[in-house]
Structure 1
Amino acid sequence: MKAPETEEDFVQWYEDCWADRDEVEYPKLFGAISDDVYTLEQTGALQAWLETDLAQVQELDPNWDPMGVRVAPPSEKFPYWSYVTSGLSNPFTVAPGAEVAPDAPSGIGYEMVIHTPEEAQWPVLRLLDMMAYNLVCLRAFAMGHRYPVEGSLTGGESKLNGFVFVKDPSRAAEFTLPSGKVQLLTLVGVTKNEMAFSRSNGADKLMAKLVQAGTGYITHPEREEVKL
């Protein structure tokens, strides 16, 4: 596969890949998606990471600004809220006319999703911050990873202070765009002890306990720690 060579054709191809994900693949994965997009441009997340010792870039790429988070409200099939990133799989890593291997990832190769029982702002803010971390610090996530945060996930009284990255069995774990393959990483909120259990025993065993407890792949900020 080869990316279009002229600037005009490349821009159109880039936008078509974006639209294919948001307007075709996402509705298949999540149902109806809100038209609203919470973008990185609306936050200071990119600049904040740029000013840390972890930053691996010297300046911000303008292609990152319109990337953001989309929201899918509850539906009959999925009776909970879903927040999914939109942009990490954009082909911003490809230059016009470049050869792209058939099995290559699109962009950095994944998008992230958080499910919650109620509508909330914290998943949007967390995902935007983690997107900025990926882009500015050049550190990618993968299935099975763990990510602790300062304080709680919500910024409030929740006992959850980190995520595990898992495959949600209720939907496809990946899809393909004209620009390459995209993996869907589901982030499940966990406590410090649950994260340690996942590190020692594997995410599958932790998820089995969360499923047994009734929360499963949906993050319930108010829940108690599961029995480990």
Structure 2
Amino acid sequence: MKMKLRKILSVLPFAAEETAVASSASTEVDSEEFWQKVYDERTAYYEKHIGTFPDDILKMGNMTGVWPGGGLFVMPADKLGKGLWAYTTFGMSNPDMPASTVMEDYKIEVDDQGQTSKYSGSLQNKKQAQSPDGAAGYGYEMIIIAKENAEWPLWFMQWTVNAEILNDAGILERVEEYNGLTVQDIQVGESESINVLIAKANKPLPAGLSLPNGKMDILIATVITDAEMQWSMENGRDVLLTKLSESGAGQISDRNRKSVVK
């Protein structure tokens, strides 16, 4: 996985590095003990409903000091179904979120093999976005569930983090306001892109929980076809999700499946 991730980093405009799981966050927001309690309860929820965590969390270089303890996980989702994989943010609901800093003048250096060798930048204060009422941090964690262990979902996960933390996208609020959110042509490779439907997790998927610092929803990003993208604009994102559920596809992403609409 490490080699594959580094291959991604050579073409993305932002970066990630693979490091050990962090155990604490900035004490300026909450005590280490409280932060760890939130982290542990979220971890237990994932392990009960999704699967076992790997040893390492994938850290985004441009989030160093901006998203302490946060990162991305790729994990077998055996609790959801045989052969499924979950790609998830982990830390959007941390007590120290929303972020109050941003890294500027971010630069990546690569070696002769095109692998990330060093990155640098400077932390600057950022106006802190307002959390949704009663929410833990940004109020959600984002997950893609797929039938393959692949690289492309990590591109989307990094897009999510950058959109929310750097650009205050308010993804959860948009999902709630519009009964789902569709996003078109997100780059997931050197020459690949996907359309996604982002919605709250529907049964039998885990919907989220109440953490010590507030409510955390699970948002699922599901790859949809061009036809489904257009159809959802005319008929509603919630209606498209119903059609996906009725077809048996549900919120599991399969880039090769047939469209559920004409």
* Same fold, judged at TM 0.5 (above): yes
Deviation at 1:199, TM superposition (A): 2.5
- Code of the aligned partner of 1:131: V
2:58 paired residue among 29, 35, 38: 38
User: C-alpha deviations, 1:168-190, integer Å up to 9, x for none?
Assistant: 31133120111111010011011
Q: CA deviation at 1:213?
A: 4.0
Retained in 1: the 8 A contact 2:47–2:53? yes
Q: Structure 1 or 2: larger helix share?
A: 1
CA distance, structure 1, for counterparts of residue 92 and residue 219 of structure 2: 12
User: Given that residues 42 and 211 in structure 2 are in contact (C-alpha distance below 8 angstroms), is that contact kept between their aligned partners in structure 1?
Assistant: yes
Deviation at residue 67 of structure 1 after TM alignment = 1.7
Aligned partner of 2:15 in structure 1 is none
Matched-pair identity in %: 28
Residues 1:94 and 1:116: Cα distance change in structure 2 (over 3 Å) = closer
Look up the equivalent residue of 2:223 and give its one-letter code.
Answer: G
Q: If the length of structure 2 is used for normalisation, what is the TM-score?
A: 0.65
Q: Distance in 2 between matches of 1:208 and 1:107?
A: 29
State the distance in 2 between where 1:7 and 1:141 align.
Answer: 26
Aligned length: 196
Q: Which amino acid aligns with 1:126?
A: F
- The correspondence of residues 90-109 of structure 1 with structure 2, limited to 5 A, is 90-93=94-97, 104-109=134-139
In the alignment, which of 155, 160, 165 is matched to residue 198 of structure 2?
165
Other-structure match for 2:183:
147
Preserved contact between residue 74 and residue 86 of structure 2 (Cα < 8 Å): yes
Structure 1 gap ranges (5+): 1-5, 47-59, 96-100
Instruction: Give the number of the structure whose residues are more often strand, by fraction.
Output: 2
Distance 2:221 2:98 in 1: 27
Q: Which residue of the partner structure matches residue 20 of structure 2?
A: none
Q: List runs of 5+ in structure 2 lacking aligned partners.
A: 1-26, 100-130
Describe the superposition over 1:99-143 as per-residue Cα deviations: whole angstroms up to 9, x where unpaired. xx9x61011100000011111111122102211210000112133
Q: Alignment RMSD, CA only?
A: 2.8
Moved runs in structure 1, 4+ residues, more than 6 A? none
The residue aligned with 1:85 is 89
Tell me the equivalent position of 1:188.
Answer: 222
Q: Matched residues in 2 for 1:169 and 1:145: separation?
A: 18
**Following TM superposition, by how much is the alpha carbon of 1:74 offset from its aligned partner in structure 2, in angstroms?**
4.2
Where do residues 9-158 of structure 1 align in structure 2 (5 Å cutoff)? 10-22=31-43, 24-41=44-61, 46=62, 62-64=65-67, 66-75=69-78, 77-79=80-82, 80-93=84-97, 104-142=134-172, 143=175, 144-150=180-186, 153=188
| Equivalent residue in structure 2 for 1:215, among 249, 259, 262 | 249
What is the one-letter code of the residue matched to 2:145?
H
State the SS of the aligned residue for 2:222. strand
Report the TM-score, using the length of structure 1 for normalisation. 0.74
